Amino acid sequence: MDNAAGLSPRTGLGGAVGTATLAPAKYVNPSALPQVLIATNEPWGTYHVRSLLAEAERRDMRLTQLVPDRSHISLADPVPVARPEDALHADLLVVSGAGDWPLECAARFPQLPLMASSLAYLGPQEAPGAARLRRRLHGITSSSPAESRAFASHLGTRRHIQVVGSPQTDDLPVRRPEAGLVLVLTSVTHPDGTGTAAPGTELLLSAAKALHESGRRILVGLHPRENRTLWKQYEVSDVPSVQASARADVAIGIPGTAFPLVVAVGTPAIGCVGPALSVPDYLLSVCSSTIDNAVDAVAAVAEAQLPDDVILADAVGPIGNSARRLLNAWACHGRGPALSPR
């Protein structure tokens, strides 16, 4: 979705946009394509890369996510993956943060140009290994001004960060809310080898129960790594949470990457914030309100409203052509003439 006027259905928040024209289908030898390797803080979290595939194909760029092994990769996953030892050719390495896996991958490819791109929110504290990346970074990108401030803290840097927008906002759904429907945005309850977890599921489960008992219908937007059985008593959305938010009157959940995007659709959001939760302030700023007790959920949902346009623009960033801007940024810092902005 390109929105020259701003965030649907809001106005005045968008960046400069255009329309993408797809080239005719053609055969391209995959080995001749410019290669970008991507290492994320969630090593098997290919959902962070999926929204970039169409733009990468348009511009004949091959994206490959580095994974420790294929144990958590579905055969149906469209994102190309490879172990570092099998990635024989590349023009650029992109890390999504300074977690253990990105650091390991950066060490495995010391000669590759390196970029950092924030593909999901990170805590506002400097990562322990950030200094090992800083001296190598050719460039840094983030989705919004607010996220760039948090990403700068995570990397421990004062360098310029290019704001490119979130690729997930390139195709925002048209909001058609269903009366009484509340979207519950989960996080991950239990950490495992695929990534960390955020506290607060018990609070969110209790809030969902209170809303259901008050007469609200519950639709669960499940985090890709969340335990589905915890939410089996409710309808679980079969589309990603940002798409599902177009159906909801209000969203409630543990503040995370999806929150600014859901609010960009035009759906107010309530944050469930337990005492152990630590998230960047900008994720809280887009919330209509926050609760730390499930008994407050019904009133918070009834009174929910959108943040003002200034807060939303700061948290969401430019709308439309974000995948193109991000891949252009990568192209500018890769090696060889095959990588060039388009």
- Same domain for 134 and 204, yes or no, is no
Q: Does any domain span residue 14?
A: no
Q: Does any domain span residue 297?
A: yes
Residue 157 has pLDDT above 90, yes or no: yes
- Same domain for 112 and 216, yes or no, is no
pLDDT for position 202: 85
Q: Does any domain span residue 70?
A: yes
Separation in Å, CA 41 to CA 70, 124, 162, 257: 16, 15, 20, 14
- Domain at 265, CATH number: 3.40.50.2000
pLDDT for position 226: 63
Tokens read off for 302: 């009834």
- Same domain for 304 and 324, yes or no, is no
- Same domain for 200 and 107, yes or no, is no
- Return the closest-CA partner of residue 216 out of 157, 299, 148, 274: 299
Measured in degrees and rounded to the nearest 5, phi and psi for residue 137 equal: -70, 125
- Same domain for 108 and 163, yes or no, is yes
Confidence of residue 289 (pLDDT cuts 50, 70, 90): very high
- Same domain for 52 and 114, yes or no, is yes
Lowest mean pLDDT among 20-24, 287-291, 293-297: 20-24
Q: Which residues, 6+ apart, have CB-to-CB distance to 181 below 8 Å? A: 216, 217, 219, 247, 248, 249
pLDDT for position 19: 28
Lowest mean pLDDT among 88-102, 119-133, 212-226: 212-226
Q: Does any domain span residue 114?
A: yes
Q: Does any domain span residue 341?
A: no
Predicted TM-score (pTM) of the model is 0.83
Number of CB atoms found within 10 A of residue 173's CB = 17
- Return the closest-CA partner of residue 163 out of 178, 152, 153: 152
Residue 195 has pLDDT above 50, yes or no: no
- Same domain for 228 and 275, yes or no, is yes
More confident residue, 227 or 235: 235
What is d(CA 36, CA 117) in angstroms, rounded to the nearest whole number?
Answer: 13
Q: Does any domain span residue 286?
A: yes
Number of folded domains in the chain? 2
More confident residue, 341 or 279: 279
- Same domain for 151 and 69, yes or no, is yes
- Same domain for 112 and 246, yes or no, is no
Q: Does any domain span residue 210?
A: yes
- Same domain for 228 and 139, yes or no, is no
Cis peptide before 9 (omega within 30 of 0): yes
**Domain range enclosing 324:** 30-170+319-333
Dump pLDDT digits (tens) for 18-64.
Answer: 322 223 333 334 444 689 999 999 899 898 899 999 999 999 999 99
Q: What percent of the chain has pLDDT over 70?
A: 83
pLDDT for position 122: 86
- Same domain for 143 and 184, yes or no, is no
Q: Does any domain span residue 34?
A: yes
- Same domain for 121 and 94, yes or no, is yes
